[in-house]
Amino acid sequence: MPEKITAENLVSEIMETIAENVPKQKSVSFLEGDKSDTVTSQFNRLFGRQKPLHRLFGGGKSADVLLWRNKKISASVLAGATVIWVLFEWLDYHFLTLVCFAVILAMLAQFLWSNASGLLSSRSASKPPRLVVPNDLFVNIGKTVGVEVNQALEFIQDVALGGNLKQFLIVVGCLWAAAIIGSWCNFITVLYIGFVAAHTLPVLYERHEDQVDSFGHQVLDQLQHHYRKLDTGFLSKIPKGKIRVKKFE
């Protein structure tokens, strides 16, 4: 006699069929109760994301800091940025003043170290550690900044010359919003807001990525719906002329 098809067998067959169509990942170990969540979470990632968030950020120490893998280091970095912002924004410190005070404190600490160790011990005075900045540090920073600036310029020129009106309007809107935000506060505050957002939003997204992805898809669907209405009612009626390029001999 054929076996009775129970609800449990039917669900297991459906899950096996779905799992066969989903690409297998290396070294995946989940509990049996979480299999359905991991399978369904493969489909609706925002912007078609397939890699984990940690890997998208480079997978190194910077990704660990941004995603709070080590809470002490991440909290220390965020607290340090907050202290610097308070000194510049609330206490009206200037950069040169802050640097001079920091150098004075460092010199005072080394002076006390070198003299106190000689007075308290009969042995020879221990030398305080010397701070040496590697020469390649500034070269690497300059190269990294140069690469990022060139990529940003290349992207902006591609958008301006690509002829994609939708992408062009999105970029112009983002730049317009950034200009308005910049008029509300100074450059240091904008940097601090961006720094805090970079250290809080990724970890919050990682913890609630299913809900955020679902909400993001709904927002994108609404934006695409409004864009189609705008394209049908206005943009498609704009006459498009062909640009003739004169040849110079």
In this prediction, residue 34 carries a pLDDT of 41
- Crossing angle of the two packed helices 165-184 and 135-162, in degrees rounded to 10: 130
Phi and psi at residue 204, to the nearest 5°: -65, -40
Contact at 8 Å (CB) between 56 and 49?
Answer: yes
CA 164 – CA 162 distance, rounded (Å) = 6
The pLDDT assigned to 79 comes to 93
Phi, psi of 6 (to 5 degrees): -90, 170
Q: Does 176 have pLDDT greater than 90?
A: yes
Q: What is the DSSP string of 143-173?
A: HHHHHHHHHHHHHHHHHHHH--HHHHHHHHH
Q: What is the pLDDT of residues 70-110, one digit of tens each?
A: 889 999 999 999 998 998 888 888 888 888 988 999 899 88
- pLDDT value, residue 28: 40
Higher per-residue pLDDT: 215 or 7: 215
pLDDT reported for residue 127: 72
Report which of 92, 73, 74 is spatially closest to residue 186, judged by C-alpha positions: 92
In whole angstroms, give the CA distance from residue 235 to residue 228: 9
pLDDT at 59 over 80: no
Residue-wise pLDDT tens digits, 113-161 = 877 766 666 555 567 777 788 888 888 888 989 998 999 999 999 999 9
Would you say residue 242 has pLDDT above 90? no
Out of 38-47, 150-159, 183-192, the most confident range is 150-159
Please state which of the ranges 19-23, 133-137, 192-196 shows the lowest mean pLDDT.
Answer: 19-23
pLDDT tops 50 at residue 9: yes
Q: What is the pTM of this model?
A: 0.56
Give the residue-averaged pLDDT of 4-19.
Answer: 52
Kindly report which listed range (57-66, 90-99, 219-228, 240-249) carries the lowest average pLDDT score.
Answer: 240-249
Report pLDDT for 5: 46
Q: What pLDDT, on a 0 to 100 scale, did the predictor assign at position 32? A: 40
